[in-house]
């Protein structure tokens, strides 16, 4: 469909807690562990989260015996993401606000109490996350891809990728930095709007509901870093509607992947940029897959059951209800298999 022969997906979500957040959180929690051994007075480590950061923080804090405190927007994250910090023994505050509200609160709280802030405005996180960029270079034997497409919400990750590529270039391991694309959900697109306005007058927005709930963020903490990364990599910002991102996920899953909606946003951006000729058929492009699709089964079930209002769900593959009867089963098989 895209007629590309050098297209890759960098799987950053097939990891211990099922998202790329593991890369940076191991670095941050290791440092906190060291601070505690040095008897620095820390009550614990805290974050605001849309579900992945909190899962990573809780897991590594549990392993290190450090109290974790997570602020989550009530009813805005998946069940799988909610149960991760609960199971790992974190103190979970489910707040009647969105992610941006949680972020404001945790910043106020950590200014008041000796709780170490674990969101990606802490550069230790980005030091860990940048290793994905180094790995991409290494996996291509230090040949730089033309494009790297990263979903963006709080916007630390796009900067972490830039940092990783920039470091490789400084070290002489690669000769250029790939063009970065930050892909946002159209329902949560403050960076896209800023880009379209020629980087003039950034305005935080109220993010609307999106299936890509982990990037449902209207006031990203790393906005300036993201702009720096994009401006210094001849970067682009693209957006994807709910229909585009869910269709892109479903199409990708047909290849054997099991994508999360945020990866769907990046894939939808790729499809658009390929269709309008910005990305060429022969370009080497890497789409960053940020989380495991198993964290987002409800939206996939709803899609494949065609149970989403106003979404045609073009690639739905609903299960066929059949009576417990040999003839009925044979009829279905004959009908369905002739269609595939």
Ligand X SMILES: N[C@@H](CCOP(=O)(O)O)C(=O)O
Q: C-beta of 51: minimal distance to ligand X in Å?
A: 5
**Cα-based distances in Å from 236 to 10, 137, 227, 232, 233:** 19, 20, 10, 11, 9
Given a contact cutoff of 8 angstroms between Cβ atoms, the answer to whether 204 and 259 are in contact is no
Binding status of residue 154 toward ligand X by CB under 6 A: yes
Give the nearest distance from C-beta 71 to ligand X in angstroms. Answer: 10
Our CB check for ligand X shows the closer of 131 and 251 to be 131
Of 122, 136, 120, 124, give the one whose Cα is nearest residue 168.
136
Q: Is 129 in the site for ligand X (CB under 6 A)?
A: no
d(Cα 230, Cα 149) in Å, to the nearest integer? Answer: 11
Q: Which residue's CB is nearer to ligand X, number 119 or number 233? A: 119
84 binds ligand X per the rule CB under 6 A:
no
Q: Which of residues 48-77 bind ligand X (CB under 6 A)?
A: 49-54
Q: At what angle do helices 223-231 and 156-170 cross, to 10 degrees?
A: 40
Encoded one letter per residue, x for contact with ligand X by CB under 6 A and - for no contact, window 293-332 reads ----------------------------------------
- The smaller minimum CB distance to ligand X, of residues 50 and 88, is found at 50
Among 144, 185, 214, 252, binds ligand X (CB under 6 A): 214
Query: Residue from 152, 156, 164, 235 that binds ligand X (CB under 6 A)?
Result: 156
Nearer to ligand X, 35 or 121 (CB): 121
The span of 47-55, 137-145, 232-240, 321-329 binding ligand X (CB under 6 A) equals 47-55
* SS3 at position 106: helix
CB 176 within 8 Å of CB 143: no
Distances (CA, A) of 104 to 72, 145, 150, 191, 200: 12, 37, 25, 19, 24
Residues in contact with ligand X, total (CB under 6 A)? 13
What is the side-by-side order of every strand in the sheet holding 44-48?
91-95, 68-73, 44-48, 115-117
């Amino acid at each position: 469909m895209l007629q590309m022969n050098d297209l890759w997906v960098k799987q950053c979500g097939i990891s211990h807690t099922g998202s790329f957040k593991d890369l940076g959180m191991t670095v941050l929690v290791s440092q906190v562990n060291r601070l505690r051994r040095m008897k620095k007075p820390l009550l614990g480590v805290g974050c605001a989260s849309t579900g992945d950061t909190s899962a990573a923080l809780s897991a590594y804090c549990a392993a290190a015996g450090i109290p974790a405190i997570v602020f989550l927007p009530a009813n805005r994250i998946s069940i799988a993401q909610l149960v991760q910090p609960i199971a790992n023994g974190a103190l979970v505050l489910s707040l009647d606000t969105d992610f941006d509200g949680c972020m404001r609160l945790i910043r106020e709280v950590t200014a008041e109490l000796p709780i170490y802030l674990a969101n990606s405005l802490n550069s230790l996180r980005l030091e860990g996350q940048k290793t994905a960029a180094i790995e991409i270079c290494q996996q291509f034997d230090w040949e730089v891809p033309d494009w790297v497409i990263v979903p963006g919400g709080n916007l630390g990750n796009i900067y972490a990728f830039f940092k990783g590529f920039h470091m490789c270039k400084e070290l002489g391991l690669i000769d250029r930095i790939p063009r970065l694309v930050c892909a946002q959900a159209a329902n949560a697109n403050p960076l896209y709007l800023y880009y379209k306005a020629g980087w003039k007058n950034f305005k935080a927005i109220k993010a609307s509901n999106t299936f890509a709930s982990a990037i449902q963020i209207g006031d990203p903490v790393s906005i300036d870093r993201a702009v720096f990364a994009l401006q210094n990599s001849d970067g682009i910002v693209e957006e994807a509607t709910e229909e585009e991102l869910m269709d892109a996920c479903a199409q990708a899953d047909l290849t054997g992947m099991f994508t999360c909606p945020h990866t769907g946003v990046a894939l939808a951006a790729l499809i658009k940029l390929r269709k309008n000729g910005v990305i060429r058929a022969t370009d080497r492009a890497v789409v960053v897959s940020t989380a495991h699709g198993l964290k987002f089964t409800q939206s996939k079930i709803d899609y494949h059951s065609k149970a989403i209002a106003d979404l045609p769900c073009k690639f739905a593959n609903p299960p066929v209800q059949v009576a417990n009867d040999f003839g009925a089963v044979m009829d279905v098989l004959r009908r369905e298999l002739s269609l595939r």
